[in-house]
Amino acid sequence: MIRKLAQKNGLPYEWIDIEGAEKEEIARVAEEYGLHEASVKDSLESDHLPKYERLSDYTFVILRVYDPQDDKEADTVKELSNKVAVFLADAHIITIHKEPWKALEHISEGVVKKGECKKPAHVLNEIVKAGLTSFNEPAAALTDEIEYFEKHVFLKNRKAPVLKGLYYLKRKSDVIRRLMTLSFDMVDKIDAPEHSNVYTRDIRDLHIKQQAIFDSLSENTNHLLNIYFNISSQKTNETIRILTIFSVFFMPLTFIVGIYGMNFEFMPELKWKWGYPGSLVLMAVITALIYVWFRRRKWL
């Protein structure tokens, strides 16, 4: 669907928005505005990463915006975000995206049509700012999830989904952290010294803030995973220690029982009146001695 979010009626530029990214529509617009074939091809790739490219007639920008969804196991760039391609020239700006993004309408109605964007570059600034701001939602959600897992990872009877949840939490934070890192070049060129202003510096500050948030989330998730595995390892070692203690108690007892269970003909102890209770007393004494020894060594 092709629509105009801003026209030259009272503005020195027009804003063409293509939603759905149909090849025929994009080809028609590309021919009309002289868009390069390679740029058009990149704009159609749904999993393309952020980029900023200056060509002779226009500037080509790709940014990723957060895609809110109910799938808790979403953990890839394509599943967590949508691509928005922007073609920027002196007299027009073209946006291409497959999925609906309400922020564009808000920019058009709340900023552009009020005359606050004097040229297409200002519209690009608003789009990039909205794209970065869209990641506030996952930042808050991931922070809440980390707090949840911090409470549950130390519980004695942990549920199986804890490890699975931590894995997807790590994947999400790492993917968005990577998107923030890859967006640096775009933000850096938008805020280049030759056209730096209050608005572009605001975008840079927002990017730095988001980068710091997701760096922290990624590190906290890694620490939480390490704690989880350390606790699991400690519990395994404790179980092995207990089993080892039991085996030490039963080894001499098994040895005694094994000797008298051989049933040789000439074993005088088998015919003693006190042979059976004597063997029980012997095993009890050995068990008591082992227990005392363990207590003195502080193994119990």
pLDDT for 159 equals 60
Number of domains comprising the chain: 2
User: Per the domain annotation, does 221 fall within a domain?
Assistant: no
What pLDDT is attached to residue 163?
84
- The pLDDT score that the predictor gives to residue 151 is 82
186 in any annotated domain: no
Pick from 155, 140, 33, 145: which is nearest to 96 by CA?
33
Q: Worst-scoring range by mean pLDDT, 6-20, 122-136, 152-166?
A: 152-166
**Whole-number CA gyration radius for the chain:** 34
Q: Which of 117, 139, 154 is the last residue of a domain?
A: 117
Q: Per-residue pLDDT for 156 more than 70?
A: no
User: For the chain, what percent of residues have pLDDT higher than 70?
Assistant: 97
Q: Which residue has the higher pLDDT, 235 or 285?
A: 285
Please identify, among 86, 117, 148, the residue that sits at the C-terminal boundary of a domain. Answer: 117
Query: pLDDT per residue over 186-221, tens digit each?
Result: 999 999 888 888 999 999 999 999 999 999 999 999
What's the CA gap between 186 and 98, in Å, rounded? 21
pLDDT reported for residue 264: 72
Write out the residue range of the structural domain in which residue 42 sits: 1-117
User: Which of the listed residues 61, 94, 117 is the one where a domain comes to its end?
Assistant: 117
Q: Tell me, yes or no, whether 222 lies in a domain.
A: no
For residue 105, tell me if it sits in a domain: yes
Predicted pLDDT at 214 = 95
The CATH number that applies at residue 6 is: 3.30.460.20
pLDDT surpassing 70 at residue 286: yes
229 within a domain of the structure (yes/no)? no
Cα first-last separation, the chain: 74
Answer whether residue 66 is part of any domain.
yes
Element (H, E) at 300: none
Instruction: Flag whether 86 is in a domain.
Output: yes
In this prediction the pTM is: 0.80
Is 75 buried (19+), middle (13-18) or exposed (0-12) by CB count in 10 A?
middle
**pLDDT value at residue 113:** 84
Tell me, what's the pLDDT at 80?
Answer: 92
DSSP secondary structure of 179-211: HHHHTHHHHHHHT-GGG--HHHHHHHHHHHHHH
110 in a structural domain: yes
Q: Over range 132-142, report the average pLDDT.
A: 94
User: Closest Cα to residue 62, out of 36, 83, 41?
Assistant: 83
CATH code where residue 270 lies: 1.20.58.340
Reduced to 3 states (helix: H, G, I; strand: E, B; else coil), residue 57 is: coil
